[in-house]
Structure 1
Amino acid sequence: MRKIILYLLLFLFLNPFAVCAIEPERALAIVNESIAYYDAKQYDKVISLLSPLMAEYEADESSSFEDYVSICHLLGGAYYETGNVTDAENIYNKGLTVLFNRSEDVTGLPVLRTILCDLGLVYNTLRNNDKAEEYLAYAKYLYEQNLDMDIAYARCLNNLALVAIAKGNRLWAKCYMDVSVDVLSKLSQVPETQLAMAYSNIGVIYEDMGYLDEAESNMNKSIALYKRHNLTHELPLALNNLGALYWKKGDMVKAQECFTKAYRNSDTNYSNHALMGLNLVGAQYLNHDRQYINSVKALSKEVSNDILGKFAFMPNELREQYWNMSNVYLQCCNAYLFDTHDSKNFGTIYNNALFSKGLLLRTSNWIRSKINTSDEKSREQLNELISLQSQLANGNISADSIAFIQYRIANLDRELTRSNADYSAFKEEFTFDWRKVRGSLGKGEAAIEFVEIPEIAGDSVSRIQYAAIVITQDSKNPNIIPLCEERQLRSIFTKDITTLSAKGQKSKLSEYIRKLYSNGNPRIYNGEKLYSLIWEPIESAMENISTIYYSPIGLLHSIAFQAVSHDSVPLCDKYNLNLLSSTSEIVSLKKNKSFQIDMAAIYGGIRYDASDEDLIAEARSYTHSHGSVWNTDDTEATRAGWGYLSGTEKESRNVYTKLHDEGISAVLLSNTQANEESFKAFDNNSPTLIHLATHGFFLSDPKVIAKNVFMQRRETIPEQNHLLNRSGLLFAGANRAWTANGVIDGIEDGILTADEISRLNLYNTELVVLSACETGLGEIVSTEGVFGLQRAFKLAGVKSLIMSLWKVPDEATSKLMQLFYDNWINGMEVHHAFAESQKQIREEYPSPYYWAGFVILD
């Protein structure tokens, strides 16, 4: 199929009307030689020939754009065939960008529709089905508009059918294949490879619709044709499809035979190699073949290496899509190894957990740190990227410009990632071994990595079980302790904490927290239930342990572990608890446990209602690129509801005075000085410590979001930004933007969302104290943790956070913070100072509602 398309290149290079300063005879000779190598499947030689030629065309602005795009098509295909899918995506997009930037109409060019079709296949391979469908649908439209409905058109329909299958749209898949077969049947000469692909896809569709015998017949026809023509690249997927069919029919022996052949006939660069490996493991497991243990260990390593190889060069959007699918493989690997009940296999599970926890967040931070220390061009591109993202997030663009800006953002992201990629350094940074964590532990210390273990029933996941992987300095192997099922833990959270403390609900929230963590009648109190589900199974492994480093997952992110109690004794009275994003952080945490405060910014006593004149006057003293807050130095409600918080004024002045008396450079921002502009001025110039005593919010109820005026002004925000716009902090004048009063043109709206924070550079900041409500809450997303303020500040580069898990009471919070700074300034290490302040505040406020809402996260 591709050979027919490639010969179109000859026409382009022989076109006498193409104006090109590059010697056309030499270029044509190189392309001819490349096509010959392509036909011989010597793709490395194609790449070595065309890469220099492509560079020549890029350097010569007078060269033919059609010739350049055709080289992109051929070179992209070579990269794709060698398994370098991200390189193929980059090359194809270069060609597409050149075409879309032309002033004349290019929709009639054959190379446009072929590149669109190939890009659709690339995105399908990268598991970005929405994008694959978008490009393939446009290609289909162009084929039909230009009445070019032959083999290439049938190929496009084939690929659309694959995407439809992946998205569960079986009827659309069948429609695409019916038309494809109809097109092929009317052509005088059809390559048997195209027929083989059609048979294979039709077989998958029939299987999905339940016609298993018809599916088997078509799949066997496809395999026979692939074998007859020695099409080794296409054969493994066809064998894998047949194996899946036998699995569905209950013939696991034949299924394993097919999966084994598929896996062995493909290499690690093959786009579906991991899927074939997982299918093989599943068949071996169900056939009681103990070889599955070695297979699953090898697959875990293969999946991790595949992700590392792609993430170092892949733009953010594609990383998210790719990880959402790849993570499933690692979770299934963990489930199979967990079922061995052999601690010798648990090291792989721990390594998978260390690799998975916050992978997207850590990757983004690593790449951004590289860009920040790169050349001026990269920094300028990063600034443009952030500016465009801000425009998109704020809704300050017309509806017809959104698509163009999204396209520009994707191109900038792609170019920045690739130009700053360093694979060897990236792999070293993201390769984990649980023994390194063990080596960082001292006597009386333990690390607990909480994980989700899916229970595999046949070819599906029936339930999720929480487990704790425990290691100490004496562990020969990690110890995995089963805990509870997700549904059991969810049943304890009988109400949504985020809605209980709405206006007039303070007493209900206080009572709910008290009953959740306190012991007593099990019909009323859930304390013992919570303890029995998530901690009692671990207790026996904590003998002689005084310090625990732990990293939660899933619903465990919502639990204040320090308040979990047994016989009315909370865990914080038995252990020194340290909350981490991942236990891999223990090594760096111990190296940087204490830090010197060079500069501090303290916010409190903020006026959320202020006159337009005051807001405008204060905002005018800042510009986002050059503004500074350092020259502004001057000498029982909950923190929700947007009313003035008198406790925050006292708290912030107390903190400022303590730091100032210690000779620490600090600035106090209150009233209308505490505006959003002042915070954004920290971009690239952030202090060591930021203390924010204000209102915070997290919106989770779709009905509340739909009615919220502020959120509705962001209805044009792309889907991936929505989660980080549901959390935020309030600054001066915020009530205008939160209500129907609207915003003042030319200044910030006073509501700093997590999305806005995530685009700032706060890499100089060691600690942010979020003395506000719900700052630790957000949408829980699998291994990535909580999408809210904590993720935003981590993306911005902040090392540690103190944050809240529910709407905290103003007066008790103010006292807690004063005690924390007293302990810290008087010489206690940060974590110890914070733990002691919670114990001290308990003496006056025994209920966990008052003291346990805050946690410190490293």
Structure 2
Amino acid sequence: MSYVLGNLAARYLDAGALDKAEELYHRALTIREAALGPDDPRVSNILASLGYVKYQRRDFAGAKELFIRSQTIRQAAFGPEHPDVGDSFRDMGRTYLKMGDTDQARSSIDQALHIQKRAVNTLVDGMSEREALALLRHGRLSLDEFLIAFDGLDDTARAYDELLNWKGTVRRSLSHRRHVLATSNDPAIKANLTELGRTKRKIAQLTMAPYDAQQMASRQQQIASLTATKESLERELGRQQGPVNHDEPDKTNGEALRAFLATQRGTVVVDLLRYQRDDEQHYLAFVLSGRGSVRRVELGLANELDTLVEQYRGLLGSADAFVSRIDEAGDRVREALWDPLKLKKAKRVIVTPDGGLTGLSLAGLPHSNGGYLLEHHQFSYLDSTTDLLNKRVATPAQRVLLVGGIDFDKGPQRDGFTGLVASRGAPCVDDHFDPLVGAEKEISDIAALFAEQGQPVEQLGGREATEGAVRGAASGAGIIHLATHGFFAANRCRSALGGDVGFNPMVLSGVVLAGANTRGDRQEDGIWTAEEVSSLDLTGTQLVVLSACETGLGEVQSGEGVLGLRRSFALAGTKNLIMSLWRVEDEATRHLMTDLYQELLRNGKSPVEALHRAQLQALERNRTESGHGEPASWAAFIAAGP
């Protein structure tokens, strides 16, 4: 009965009915203390909930007393390093902060973050990805409170160090696990890796299968069962990798980054974070260069900035939007996000975005003096700034894989569907995929450029560009170029995920290969998802170019980046990735890609530099042909990598 009352109280609390919530929590507390005794840890949970009711009433003295009682019980039951004890320290810390006791608040919150970090470092390597991300989400509450309590000028470097140690934790753990296991000769490990890849492919095939009402219940059960198998394999592989040393502070602190940036003249890092402050989400930025100390810049309410970015992106993706309207919306984004950073002198800007800002290309924002930021700065993007300190070196593969001119097995167009022949985006994976005429010419032009350099090229197109063929050819390729449709299946076109049946967000984005229009209940369905890509071994791959629309999108988890293709290729071992954030006209994409490879091959530029120069050429081409910069046609593509 106490659990029923507690759950009901939580509902009233969420609805803001504090009197009813407090009444029910007190009834639950009385029952639980009578049944379990006053010092049982299950009693501490009710005490903490009552403390939160007091906190909401702004009765901070009453809240503090309840939080202390809860913490005392938890520490006696679990020991001083348990995550629940960390939760109590966090609750106490934010209460002290409201009471004006800054010293006590900072001490409690510092202890809370220490406990949560220790829990993450101890547990994450043996968890499934879902479990690890859930643990990180919970611990993030302590980081947010830390950023609030430690927000003075003297605290900035310490606050940034804590952010660096937190951001990208799960992806680093998975990357390390993958590297260790991929080099193992243990037959049991190899068998588990093979089975994990096979299970991911089955999940992807079921999730993206065409809608069938009669099979939906059965399909959901299969997805749930396969997801459980996948997570079991991930936990077992975590155990098989052996102990992991997390004591590598030189790789994850601001001093190491500043030392690195001191060798990169004109380079600045902008680390963005969406965090909770005073019951609302805010954005902040840490700006770091090799010449001075780190700066902290508060950017205001997250919902307001996200709305500006969403409006801007909506216009960029609209074929009917005037350039003037796009630039006006871009001006509003620049004024809210870019101008406060004060980076006029920066030449190269490395951005680690978060939240809704992961879908933004800064290069396309209008400059305050006319033109675009592209003409003043070179941009690249990372999921975690610590990627700049990754010392792992892989032998570069030499072979080039070019995929394009794919036969999607075109059938009758569906009623009400407008074809995608003019762009490389697919609004939903249940739609019909039209041929990309420009893609075949794009592949031909790029192949000719590699032939000039005498580099071996493997081309896959037509009906031969199946999932199996591309998957097999990708391993061992130094450069991979995919010219096809991309997709990000948002809520409106999830075909088989009913509610929380399975945790597989990386199934919802990917690229389209041969046979996609005739897919059914078969393994080679032509829908190559990020989940499947993550099982590849691309250790020697220096560059992947996704010449397809919306390949940079996916579900976002704050602190971990985009759970989509950009994450999956990084987990597979790719060093650099070029991808897109919205749909781009087919012919414009072909010209941009040809210019990109000319810069790479003829002029010896890095992927980041090559994309920047190719975009500048596209900008000038647009100005010559139409009199406008038309950022929608070139700013969609971004470069991810150190």
Per the alignment, residue 97 of structure 1 pairs with none
1:84-163 aligned at under 5 Å gives the runs 161=4
Per the alignment, residue 545 of structure 1 pairs with 346
Q: How far apart are the structure 2 equivalents of 1:780 and 1:358?
A: 12
More helix by share: 1
SS of match in other structure, 2:242: coil
Does residue 609 of structure 1 match 2:409?
A: yes
Per the alignment, residue 303 of structure 2 pairs with 487
Q: How far apart are the structure 2 equivalents of 1:233 and 1:780?
A: 34
Does residue 598 of structure 1 match 2:398?
A: yes
Q: How many residues align?
A: 597
Q: How far apart are the structure 2 equivalents of 1:574 and 1:236?
A: 56
Q: How far apart are the structure 2 equivalents of 1:402 and 1:840?
A: 46
Structure 2 CA distance for partners of 1:294 and 1:450, relative to 1, 3 Å: same
Does residue 750 of structure 1 match 2:534?
A: no
Q: How far apart are the structure 1 equivalents of 2:162 and 2:329?
A: 33
1:388-403 aligned at under 5 Å gives the runs 388-395=199-206
Does residue 283 of structure 1 match 2:68?
A: no
SS of match in other structure, 1:526: helix
| Among candidates 564, 568, 572, match of residue 365 of structure 2 | 564
- 1:289 positional shift: 0.5
Per the alignment, residue 637 of structure 1 pairs with 422
- 1:698 positional shift: 1.8
Per the alignment, residue 273 of structure 2 pairs with 451
- 1:211 positional shift: 1.4
| Among candidates 290, 311, 325, match of residue 138 of structure 2 | 325
Q: How far apart are the structure 1 equivalents of 2:274 and 2:25?
A: 38
Higher alpha-carbon Rg:
1
1:719-734 aligned at under 5 Å gives the runs 719-721=502-504, 723-734=505-516
Unaligned runs of 5+ in 2: 210-214, 412-420, 427-432, 623-628
- The answer on whether the counterparts of 1:468 and 1:482 sit within 8 Å (CA) in structure 2 is yes
Q: How far apart are the structure 2 equivalents of 1:329 and 1:814?
A: 47
- The answer on whether the counterparts of 1:313 and 1:421 sit within 8 Å (CA) in structure 2 is no
| Among candidates 534, 538, 544, match of residue 337 of structure 2 | 534
Q: How far apart are the structure 1 equivalents of 2:28 and 2:468?
A: 65
Structure 2 CA distance for partners of 1:717 and 1:762, relative to 1, 3 Å: farther
CA RMSD of aligned residues (A): 3.5
- 1:651 positional shift: 1.2
- The answer on whether the counterparts of 2:408 and 2:434 sit within 8 Å (CA) in structure 1 is yes
SS of match in other structure, 1:787: strand
- Give CA-to-partner distance per residue, 1:193-233, whole Å, 9 cap, x none: xxxxxxxxxxxx9986331895598399679954xxxx586
Unaligned runs of 5+ in 1: 1-156, 172-204, 519-524, 612-635
- 1:797 positional shift: 2.5
Q: How far apart are the structure 2 equivalents of 1:796 and 1:701?
A: 26
Per the alignment, residue 170 of structure 2 pairs with 360
Q: How far apart are the structure 2 equivalents of 1:796 and 1:262?
A: 44
Q: How far apart are the structure 2 equivalents of 1:464 and 1:699?
A: 26
Structure 2 CA distance for partners of 1:207 and 1:419, relative to 1, 3 Å: farther
1:206-217 aligned at under 5 Å gives the runs 209-211=21-23, 214=26
- 1:260 positional shift: 4.1
Q: How far apart are the structure 2 equivalents of 1:409 and 1:334?
A: 35
Equivalent residue letter for 2:639: I
Does residue 794 of structure 1 match 2:585?
A: no
Q: How far apart are the structure 2 equivalents of 1:239 and 1:587?
A: 44
Q: How far apart are the structure 2 equivalents of 1:605 and 1:222?
A: 72
Structure 2 CA distance for partners of 1:716 and 1:779, relative to 1, 3 Å: closer
Structure 2 CA distance for partners of 1:385 and 1:605, relative to 1, 3 Å: closer
- 1:825 positional shift: 1.0
Q: How far apart are the structure 2 equivalents of 1:388 and 1:847?
A: 43
SS of match in other structure, 1:770: strand
SS of match in other structure, 2:144: helix
Per the alignment, residue 469 of structure 1 pairs with 286
| Among candidates 357, 361, 371, match of residue 181 of structure 2 | 371
Q: How far apart are the structure 2 equivalents of 1:438 and 1:734?
A: 47
- The answer on whether the counterparts of 1:824 and 1:830 sit within 8 Å (CA) in structure 2 is yes
| Among candidates 532, 543, 564, match of residue 767 of structure 1 | 543
Structure 2 CA distance for partners of 1:604 and 1:208, relative to 1, 3 Å: same
Per the alignment, residue 433 of structure 1 pairs with 253
- 1:310 positional shift: 1.1
- 1:716 positional shift: 11
Q: How far apart are the structure 2 equivalents of 1:637 and 1:404?
A: 40
Structure 2 CA distance for partners of 1:533 and 1:595, relative to 1, 3 Å: farther
- The answer on whether the counterparts of 2:93 and 2:107 sit within 8 Å (CA) in structure 1 is no
| Among candidates 237, 254, 257, match of residue 416 of structure 1 | 237
- 1:544 positional shift: 4.1
- The answer on whether the counterparts of 1:483 and 1:533 sit within 8 Å (CA) in structure 2 is yes
Equivalent residue letter for 1:665: P
| Among candidates 518, 522, 530, match of residue 736 of structure 1 | 518
1:4-23 aligned at under 5 Å gives the runs none
- 1:552 positional shift: 0.9
- Give CA-to-partner distance per residue, 1:87-137, whole Å, 9 cap, x none: xxxxxxxxxxxxxxxxxxxxxxxxxxxxxxxxxxxxxxxxxxxxxxxxxxx
Q: How far apart are the structure 2 equivalents of 1:681 and 1:278?
A: 49
- The answer on whether the counterparts of 1:219 and 1:242 sit within 8 Å (CA) in structure 2 is no
Q: TM-score, normalised by structure 2?
A: 0.83
Equivalent residue letter for 2:402: I
Per the alignment, residue 125 of structure 1 pairs with none
1:256-271 aligned at under 5 Å gives the runs 256-260=64-68, 262-263=70-71, 266=75, 267-271=79-83
Percent identical residues? 25
Per the alignment, residue 29 of structure 1 pairs with none
Per the alignment, residue 608 of structure 2 pairs with 831
- The answer on whether the counterparts of 2:309 and 2:360 sit within 8 Å (CA) in structure 1 is no
Per the alignment, residue 811 of structure 1 pairs with 587
Q: How far apart are the structure 2 equivalents of 1:768 and 1:533?
A: 32
- The answer on whether the counterparts of 1:603 and 1:670 sit within 8 Å (CA) in structure 2 is yes
- The answer on whether the counterparts of 1:308 and 1:427 sit within 8 Å (CA) in structure 2 is no
Q: How far apart are the structure 2 equivalents of 1:839 and 1:261?
A: 62
Per the alignment, residue 415 of structure 2 pairs with none
Structure 2 CA distance for partners of 1:241 and 1:558, relative to 1, 3 Å: closer
Equivalent residue letter for 1:605: G
- The answer on whether the counterparts of 2:487 and 2:549 sit within 8 Å (CA) in structure 1 is yes
- 1:770 positional shift: 0.4
SS of match in other structure, 2:539: coil
1:676-687 aligned at under 5 Å gives the runs 676-682=467-473, 685-687=475-477
Equivalent residue letter for 1:329: S
Per the alignment, residue 693 of structure 1 pairs with 483
Q: How far apart are the structure 1 equivalents of 2:156 and 2:561?
A: 22
Equivalent residue letter for 2:202: Q
- The answer on whether the counterparts of 1:312 and 1:426 sit within 8 Å (CA) in structure 2 is no
Q: How far apart are the structure 1 equivalents of 2:529 and 2:454?
A: 33
